[in-house]
Structure 1
Amino acid sequence: MESKKTVLRNTKQKGEILKVLEMAKGPLSIKEIYELSRKNLDNLGIATVYRAVNHLMERTIHENPSSGRISRFEASRHHHHHFHCKQCDRVYDIEICPIPLDKSPKGFTVDTHEIILYGTCSDCNSKAR
Structure 2
Amino acid sequence: MSAAPSPAPPRETRQREVISRLLQSAEGPLGVPELHARALNELPRLGVATVYRTLKLLQEQGAAHIVTLDGENLYEASGRGHHHHFSCRQCGRVYTLNTCPVALPAGTVYPGGFVVEAHEVTLYGLCPACAPR
User: Could you list the runs of 5+ residues in structure 2 that have no partner in the other structure?
Assistant: 1-9
Please point out which of 68, 79, 84 is paired with 1:81: 84
4+ long deviations beyond 3 Å: 105-110
User: Could you list the runs of 5+ residues in structure 1 that have no partner in the other structure?
Assistant: 1-6
Superposed CA deviations along residues 45-66 of structure 1, whole A, max 9, x for unmatched, are: 222112211222222211111x
TM-score (norm 2): 0.74
* Larger proportion of helix: 1
Q: Percent identity?
A: 41
Instruction: Map 1:55-74 to 2 at 5 A.
Output: 55-59=57-61, 60-65=63-68, 67-68=69-70, 70-74=72-76
Matched residues in 1 for 2:71 and 2:104: separation? 30
Corresponding letter in the other structure for 2:116:
V
Describe the SS at the equivalent of 1:124. Answer: coil
Describe the SS at the equivalent of 1:88. Answer: coil
Please point out which of 93, 116, 123 is paired with 1:117: 123
TM-score (norm 1): 0.76
Please point out which of 23, 26, 41 is paired with 2:25: 23
Q: CA RMSD of the aligned region, Å? A: 2.5
Superposed CA deviations along residues 62-106 of structure 1, whole A, max 9, x for unmatched, are: 1111x2354211011211100011222211011101222349348
Larger radius of gyration: 2
Residue pair 1:83, 1:93 contacting (<8 A) in 2 also: yes
Name 2:14's counterpart in structure 1.
Answer: 12
Residue pair 1:81, 1:97 contacting (<8 A) in 2 also: yes
